[in-house]
Structures are given as structure tokens and as C-alpha cells.
Chain A
Amino acid sequence: MSKQLLKGNEAFAEAAIRAGCEGFFGYPITPSTEFLEYMAKRMPELGRAFVQAESEVAAINMVYGAACTGKRVMTASSSPGISLMMEGISYLAGTEVPAVIVNVMRGGPGLGNIAPAQGDYYQMVKGGGHGDYFPIVLAPASVQEAINIMGVAFDLADKYRAVVHMIVDGNMGQMMEPAELPPMRELPKKPPNWAVTGAKGRKPNFLSSIYIDPVEQEVTNLRLLKRWLEIEKNEVRFAESGLEDAEIAVVGFGTSGRVASSAIRTAREEGIKVGLLRPITLAPFPEKRLEEISKQVRRILVVEMNSGMMLDDVNRVVQGRVPVEFYGRMGGITPLPDEILDEIRRVATNRMPVNGDARQQWITRLEKIVGGQA
């Protein structure tokens, strides 16, 4: 099949269907609504389950119930909607049933706005729901990459009986790009052996997230933790370019990583030795590769559409080996290539250590920009 011009949200939805998604439960919210709309039309055509629930809370609990049958199920929403789902997401994790949850992120906190943002990094990457659990977090940067990663998302969810978040921002959901869809996968003939399917002719399965006895809960927590360590070992994914001879490494994910790649291209033409590390899995974080990079480059610039959340993870890995600088836009503003180019130029000419806190210094620079716009 050749490339078609596809709208982000619709392409992600079709990719999920082709990866074997048999149940979608959701509630509309901009900028993710086309995902649900597409599912509303397509799923019944294929005899698969689609429910527009009465709320996000209901939707995630439908996902929970359906996931217990061993079918591939999912939901998609945007920031405030994902917050409403958090209790259910923790239950999914505690019950060790797989599900894929797409977050098309928008400006926040609160009702915020519908413009693209990456301010849900902590919520998504660090868990968000209560209790000890570890979601896998995927952050593609193009329509094609998101299509490809959707199949991976379902595979990982099944393999580790885990919650998998795919996070993109409103730009990715709304934009159109040429992309190729994979062929339709065949649905599995048999449910996994843990699924609840009626127990005809076999011992009943029991799925729950309740462990009244703390001893049993701790055994479960340990199982989840060991499974996570396996995931950290096996499932790290990232993209990089121009790092071979780089003196400066830019680290950015999703749209901000992709905008940075435009700035890097121009900076390279100006002779600045700069490259890009773009984590595709935010959890597990590409720690090993970042550590190697931090031993090679002279400076690191983290670019995000939030207040410096991944910055904390980068600092944790880099451990002060080289100065880590930060540039971010918040509240639904997407940084443009010229802003990041200016930052790269600034970082390239600055051979002094970062005197004080990188985030504090970024605030000073940002206030000039924001002040100029007001």
C-alpha cells in the first residue's frame, strides 16, 4: 500500500484497529475527538465494540472490564479527560490487565485550553494513578511513527500485561502527513490463559486489584517491579541524528523534538556541531544512550512544551557531567524553529558552566519573550 495523506487522530485510530483493537470506549474531548469519531464509524463496520460512554470515568471502567476478557482494548482522550481516568488506570495496572491509552495533550493545568502541550509528562511518565505501578510511555513524533508504534503499544501491553500510554500533543492529532498504514492483523484465535471468558470446562480465573492482606499486596508489588525492570532492560526506544561528532546534544520528545530537528538542520549549516536525541519511550527512559552522550558532548539542551519535566530525568542521568540547559514553552504554545535555533546558537557560544539553576535562567529568558508578546 502506498502513502496517503492522513490526519493524525484518524490514522492512530485506524492503526489501532489494524493492530487488533477489538474494543474502544471513550468520551469526546478536543483535540482528540476525531479519534473517537473515527472509531464510532469504523468499529461497528468490523463488528467490534465501540461505546461512547457517559463520562471518562465510565469509559476507563469499560476498558477495565473489557481488558479482563483478554481482548485488545483502548481509549483515547486529552489531558483533563485522562485525569478523570486515573483511578481506573491504576486499577488496570493493579489487576495486571493490558490496555492502550492515548493522550492527545493540551494546555493546562485545569480546563486550560485546547492548544498543543506536553505538560502531562509527569502525570504520564511517573504513573499518575495511585500506588506502585509503572506504565510504559510512548511518544512518537510523526503520523507515520505513531502508526508504527500503535502496533508496538498493543504488543507491549499484552507481553507485560501492562498499561501502555501513547502520548502526543494536539499538533500531532490535528496535522495531516503522508503515511502508510500496516496491513490488518489477524485477530488471535484464543484468549490469553489469564482472561475471564466464562470458565467453561476449566478452572475459573480471578482478576482483581484487591489484596486485603498487605503481604499479598507486597508480593504483587514485587512482581510488578520485577516486570518493570525487564521492560527497562528490553524496551527502550529512541531516535537520534547528528550525534556522531556533536559537541551539543539537544534532547526533545514528540513535537518539540521534531521542531528541534528543523533548528538543528539550520545550525548544522552554520557549522555548529549539534545533534538530536529524541526519546520514543519516555518510560523506560533511554538512560544508557543519554549517559554515553553526556560523556561525549560539551553541553546538553533540553527542549520541551512544558516547564522542564523531562529536564529532571535528563539531569538524573547526566549527573552534572556536562551543563544541561533548558528551553520550554508552556500553556499551549509550540516553540518555533527560530527560537530553538537561537538557543542552540547561545549554547554553542557559551563555554561557561551554567551558573546556577538552568530552569531559573530559562525563566529570565522566557519572561523577555512573553513580556514582548503581552
Chain B
Amino acid sequence: MTETSIIISGFGGQGTLFSGQVLAYAALDNGKEVTWIPSYGPEMRGGTAHCTVIISDEPIGSPLVRNPDVAVVLNLPSLDKYEYTVKADGVLIVNASLINRTIERENIRNIYIPANEIAEEIGLSRMANMVMLGGMTYMKPVLTLEMIKEALSEHIPARHRRTLPMNFTAMERGYAFAQEAFEKVTA
């Protein structure tokens, strides 16, 4: 069955919910079935926020999973929470800017992306979520970078539209970072 489950988790304000929505829009625009479901506990700024995105070629039953194929973790509490839930042979994308430990699991593919540093180089630290999304797209190409960029450009709120080129750069940098890291390993 071609179903991919992705959890994106971080502090409230890091844009985890929105980056999940961008993925969901890209899935929809490319003819996939998709569900997006947020955590909606009594959370406040600085607390954790996560969403689960499921992308499939078939109608989706459960919008929630115990063991996702992919976890994108933007802060340490999220790594602690999801490291051991990712499926064997699954993918873990770690924001190395805010997470100062390495992972313990060995039976997953992972990458450490200094997402905040990369975002700051581009000029906006809030873009860390898009750097991570770019890195994820390399590690788990369920949708292409072009599809995700297209979706973002369609659905970005009007008040943020001027940041679109920076968002694109952030995604490309994240993707390139993952690609380089892996080509180095396999070279």
C-alpha cells in the first residue's frame, strides 16, 4: 500500500502546522488522497505543536498513526517524543540548531539539519520549518520539491506573499543540505 505518514513537531510558533498544510496542499494538487490533523490540546506559545499528514493513493482510513514513516522534529521535546515511534527503516529529520544530542536509534535513516542557522543566513529565522521541509523532501521524496513550491505559492497567506522567494530558497537549501550530506556518505 502506498501510504506515507509524516509527523511534523516543534515549539508552537515554529510553523510545524503550516508546513504540514503545505505538504497537504501539494498532495491534493497532485491528485493524492491526504489528511492533515493538528494537535489541538490546551497549548500555548512555547509549548509543543505537531501535526500528522497522511498521503496516499487510496482513500485514507485513520488520520492518526502510532508509527509514522517520517518524523520531522524541530526541537528536543519532539525528538524525545518521536525518535522511538518512527517505523523501522523510517526517516527522522532532526533540527540540529535546537537539538544538542544525536539519535539513539540505528534502524532508521536520519539527518541533522542546522535549520535555524540556514534560515538566518537566508535572512529570516522563521523559515526553519521550510528548510526542514526541503530536507524531508530529499530524504522521503513522496512529493517533489517543485510540487511543494507550487503548493506554497498557491496557498501562502497574502500578508506573507513577499516572503515567497525566501521560502523557496529555504526549501532548496534544506534539500541541498540533505543531498550533499548523503552524497558525501555514499561517495
Contacts and interface: CB of A to CB of B under 8 A. Distances in A.
Nearest to B66: A336
Contact of A336 (B36, B42, B64): B64
Contact of B40 (A114, A258, A263): A114
B156 to A, nearest CB: 14
B117 interface: no
Contacts of A31: 40
Contact of B28 (A5, A259, A265): A5
Interface in B59-75: 60-67
B64 A178 contact: no
A261 B59 CA distance: 10
Contacts of B65: 336-337
Nearest to A178: B28
Interface string B51-88: 00000000011111111000000000000000000000
Given A170-B40, A171-B64, A337-B62, A3 B1 contact: no
Contact of B64 (A114, A259, A261, A264): A259
B41 A178 contact: no
Interface in B86-122: none
B34 interface: yes
For B33, B37, B61, which residue has the most chain A Cβ atoms within 10 angstroms? B61
A261 B3 CA distance: 14
Contacts, number: 68
A176 B35 CA distance: 6
Contacts of B12: none
Contacts of B60: 177, 262
A95 interface: no
B147 to A, nearest CB: 14
A264 B25 CA distance: 28
Given A114-B41, A176-B21, A176-B24, A5 B64 contact: no
A59 B134 CA distance: 47
A338 interface: yes
B63 to A, nearest CB: 5
A260 B61 contact: yes
A57 to B, nearest CB: 25
B38 A174 contact: yes
B95 to A, nearest CB: 24
A175 B66 contact: no
Contacts of A264: 61
Interface in A258-276: 258-265, 269
Contact of B33 (A171, A178, A338): A178
Contacts of B38: 174-175
A77 interface: no
Contacts of B67: 338
A79 interface: no
Nearest to A262: B61
Contact of B62 (A5, A114, A336): A336
Interface in A165-184: 170-171, 174-178
B62 A30 contact: no
Contacts of A170: 40
Interface in A40-55: none
A269 B35 CA distance: 23
Contacts of A3: 28
Interface in B119-165: none
Interface string A1-27: 001110000000000000000000000
For A5, A31, A171, A174, which residue has the most chain B Cβ atoms within 10 angstroms? A5
Given A5-B24, A5-B34, A177-B35, A259 B61 contact: yes
A265 B59 CA distance: 11
A170 B63 CA distance: 12
A115 interface: yes
Nearest to A4: B28
Contact of A337 (B33, B35, B61): B61
Nearest to B67: A338
Q: 10 shortest A-B CB distances, which residue pairs?
A: A262-B61, A261-B61, A259-B62, A175-B37, A176-B36, A262-B62, A336-B66, A178-B28, A337-B62, A174-B40
Given A260-B61, A261-B62, 17 more contacts: A5-B34, A114-B40, A115-B41, A171-B64, A174-B40, A175-B36, A175-B63, A176-B21, A176-B24, A177-B35, A177-B60, A178-B28, A258-B61, A258-B62, A336-B62, A336-B64, A337-B61
23 contacts: A30-B40, A115-B41, A171-B37, A174-B37, A174-B38, A175-B36, A176-B35, A176-B36, A176-B37, A177-B35, A177-B63, A258-B61, A259-B62, A259-B64, A260-B61, A262-B61, A262-B62, A263-B62, A265-B1, A336-B62, A336-B65, A337-B65, A338-B66
